[in-house]
Structure formats: C-alpha cells, structure tokens
C-alpha cells in the first residue's frame, strides 16, 4: 500500500467516526428531568384561588410590586362603539330633475328594483284616486235611483197616478246600481291592493340591496351606505345612531351620518345584519360602489377605558381582575368594545371606582380559569 493510499484511508476512517458522533449528538433523546422538577405544583406560587371568582396575589411579592394597577374611571369619548366595512349603494347626483330622478345606483339590478318601486308607487297613487272616484260615482248613482224609486213609490201608493210597472222598473234600476257600485268598488280595491303588494315587494328588494326607500325623496346631496354587521355585535346597533365614515379613496376626510334602517332579517350564509346609513355629501365626492370604514355610535358618551393587557380571554368571553380596595381580586366578565389609542373601551361589566390589574394579568389566567370553575 502506497503512502497516498494510506493517508486517504486514514482520513476516511476519521470522517466516518466524526459523522457517527454528530448523528448521535443530534438524535439522542433529551435528558430526563426529575419528576419533582416537572411538577408545577411544587413551584413557588405568586397567587391562589380563595373563592368563587376570587384570586389573591401574595402581598409584597416581587410579582405584586411590579404588576401595574390602573384606576377605573369614566371619560367623555366619541370613539365608535364598533367599526364595520361598508359601501355606497346609491347616491343622489346634482341636477334640475325631480329628486327621484337624480339617483345613481351601484348596479343595474338595484336600478331595476328602484324603477319597479317607483312604478308600484305610482300605481298605488293612481289606484287610490280611482277608488275614491268610483265610490263617489257609486254613491251618486245610488242616490239618483233611490230618489226616483221613492218618488214613484209615493205616487203609486198615495195618488195612483203612476203605473206599478214603472215602480218595479225603478226598483230594479236601484238594485242594479247598487250591485254595479259594489263590483266597481271591489275591482278598484283589488287594483289598489295589488299595487300595494307590488310596492311592498319592490321596497323589500330595495332594502335587501341596501337602499332605504324613505331616503329616496331627499332633495339634498346624500349617499346611502350599506354595511354588514356581525351577529355577535348587533346588540349595540340602533336606528338613528350617529356614525362617521372614512372612505378608502378619500382618506383625509370623514363623512358624518346616521343609521336610517336595520334590516329585520339576518344573512343566513354570513350571519350578519344589514344596516343602512345616510351620509351627507355636500361636495358631491362620493360615488356608488366606493368602500369605507364606518364607525357606529360616535355620539359623546361616558366610557370606561382600560389597557388592553388587562383583558384576559377565557373561552368565548373576556375578563379582567378588579377590586375596590386591598384584598383579593374579582374575576369580572366584561364586554369589550373598540380600541382608543393604547386603551380599549369596556362597554359593560365594569363600573367607575376601584382598580384593574394591567400588564401581567395574563400570567394569572390559570388561576382565573380555576376561580371561574368554583
């Protein structure tokens, strides 16, 4: 064996040993931790559950000294109760036409529904007038034939100067007038009822498309905006509530408005509630189809604001640790709203006074879960 071959064999042996050692280091199981060290119950406790929905933190401990506490107080705010995405379904353009002829819609289907609604509305007005005239005509004819019949009856019974056959013919004419009047009134009422049903159907189609028919006679520059509100947030939405919209295409300007209608049925596929808004647009900047973020509930109100770190999510609900004085902390369920800077609004479950545990409250989540189960 030559010197070169001997050297090559030596390097191959060393390499094989090195690879084997590397594979062992990577693949070997981790060192077993003694059972005593893996048992969390033997770890020093910083808190304990002292009762149903009550957690006590060790007073004077490092944890208790470092975790921040925030006073609960109310403030005047105008932040939205909730924010949703919306789009312009219709817009009234400028012009000299009648208000109902100045509307622009985001789709041909909505425009067709609007035309059907206007047609049905005209049919209702025309049918109502025709019904009134039919009733007047029927009353006049019945009154005329009644007068003739009464006069002939008197002449036949008292003087006998008129023939009985003329009296009977007059009576038949009166009955014929009554029957014809009833038929004409029935036909006129049926036409009005049909027009009313058609108008109601067209109105429902408009509402489902995001159009509030009550706003379509508005003579000012107004945009009708439709939004889908999730079912879980619908409890905070009411008609007449104020709102503010900020459109993606016009980010530097906000548009005030209010809720005009809440559709009475939920979307079965999205589980959302359709909400309609009217927005003022005096400068005519909005166009059908434009999208916006809409903040609902922007009226000035008293609100409780807490740091977002104070809110702990357990299951499907939110909780905070709160207390009125020194002692155990209460695990309080809260209804959390929108964020406002570095704080979030608590819409329910927390009143002014006392304090809440801030950053670090998440570390006590296991104790909160245990306290909720008592």
Tens-place pLDDT, residues 301-330: 888 899 999 999 998 899 999 998 788 999
**Contact (CB, 8 A) for 237 and 275:** yes
* Average pLDDT score, the chain: 81
pLDDT digits (tens, 9 = 90+) for 16-29: 655 555 545 455 55
pLDDT at 43: 38
Proportion of the chain above pLDDT 90, given as a percent: 21
What gap in Å lies between CA 18 and CA 275, rounded to an integer? 71
Residues 103, 216 contacting (CB under 8 angstroms): yes
Q: Among 14-28, 40-54, 176-190, 326-340, name the one with the lowest average pLDDT.
A: 14-28
Residue 373: phi and psi, rounded to 5, are -85, -5
Name the residue with higher pLDDT: 264 or 335.
335
11 vs 183, residue with greater confidence: 183
Rounded CA gap, 135 and 112, in Å?
A: 34
What is the C-alpha separation between 247 and 291, in angstroms, rounded? 6
Instruction: Say what percent of the chain tops pLDDT 70.
Output: 81
Q: At what angle do helices 108-154 and 164-208 cross, to 10 degrees?
A: 160
pLDDT at 33: 37
pLDDT score of 165: 83
Q: Which two tokens stand for residue 288?
A: 């059908």
**Of 34-48, 159-173, 225-239, where does mean pLDDT reach its minimum?**
34-48
pLDDT-derived band at 63, boundaries 50, 70, 90: confident
pLDDT tens-digit readout, 89-130: 888 766 666 656 677 888 888 888 888 888 898 999 999 999
Question: What token pair was written down for 304?
Answer: 């409780």
Q: What is the pTM of this model?
A: 0.57
Q: Hey, how many other C-beta atoms are within 10 angstroms of the C-beta on 283?
A: 10
pLDDT at 21: 52
Q: Are 48 and 56 in contact (CB under 8 A)?
A: yes
pLDDT in tens, 329-361: 999 999 888 887 788 888 888 888 889 998 888
For the chain, the domains span 1-30, 47-76+303-372, 83-96+222-296, 108-208
Question: Alpha helices of 155-236 — where are they, by DSSP H?
Answer: 164-208
10 Å CB burial of residue 254 (0-12, 13-18, 19+) is middle
Assigned CATH class of 83-96+222-296: mainly beta
Pick the CATH number of 47-76+303-372 from 3.30.470.10, 3.40.50.261, 2.130.10.10, 2.40.420.20: 2.40.420.20
In this predicted model, what pLDDT tens digit does every residue of 121-142 receive, in sequence order? 899 999 999 999 999 999 999 9
Instruction: Give the pLDDT band of residue 34 (cuts 50, 70, 90).
Output: very low
Q: Which of 213, 244, 239 is nearest to 103 (CA)?
A: 213
On the 0-12 / 13-18 / 19+ scale of CB atoms within 10 A, 12 is exposed
């Amino acid at each position: 064996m030559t010197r070169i071959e001997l050297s090559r064999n030596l390097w191959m042996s060393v390499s094989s040993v090195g690879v084997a050692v590397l594979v062992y280091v990577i693949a070997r199981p981790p060192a077993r931790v003694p059972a005593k060290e893996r048992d969390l119950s033997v770890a020093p406790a910083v808190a304990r559950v002292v009762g149903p929905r009550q957690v006590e933190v060790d007073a004077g401990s490092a944890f208790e000294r470092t975790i921040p506490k925030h006073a609960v107080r109310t403030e005047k705010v105008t932040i939205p109760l909730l924010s949703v995405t919306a789009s312009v379904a219709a817009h009234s353009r400028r012009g000299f036409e009648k208000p109902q002829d100045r509307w622009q819609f985001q789709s041909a289907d909505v425009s067709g529904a609007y035309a059907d609604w206007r047609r049905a509305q005209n049919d209702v007005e025309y049918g109502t007038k025709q019904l009134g005239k039919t009733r007047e005509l029927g009353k006049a004819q019945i009154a005329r034939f009644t007068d003739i019949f009464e006069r002939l009856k008197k002449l036949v019974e008292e003087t006998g100067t008129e023939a009985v056959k003329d009296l009977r013919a007059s009576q038949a004419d009166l009955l014929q007038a009554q029957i014809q009047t009833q038929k004409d009134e029935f036909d006129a009422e049926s036409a009005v009822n049909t027009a009313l049903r058609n108008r109601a159907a067209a109105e429902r189609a408009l509402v489902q498309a995001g159009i509030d028919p009550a706003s379509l006679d508005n003579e000012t520059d107004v945009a009708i905006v439709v939004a889908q509100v999730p079912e879980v947030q619908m409890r905070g939405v009411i008609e007449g509530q104020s709102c503010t919209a900020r459109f993606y295409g016009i980010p530097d300007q906000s548009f005030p408005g209010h809720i005009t209608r809440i559709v009475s049925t939920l979307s079965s596929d999205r589980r959302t509630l359709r909400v309609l808004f009217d927005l003022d647009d005096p400068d005519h900047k909005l166009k059908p189809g434009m999208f916006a973020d809409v903040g609902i509930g922007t009226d000035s109100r008293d609100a409780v604001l807490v740091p977002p770190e104070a809110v702990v999510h357990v299951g499907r609900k939110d909780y905070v640790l709160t207390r009125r004085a020194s002692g155990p902390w209460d695990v309080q369920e809260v209804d959390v709203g929108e964020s406002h800077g570095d704080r979030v609004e608590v819409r329910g479950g927390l009143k002014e006074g006392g304090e809440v545990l801030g950053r670090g409250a998440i570390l006590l989540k296991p104790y909160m879960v245990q306290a909720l189960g008592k």
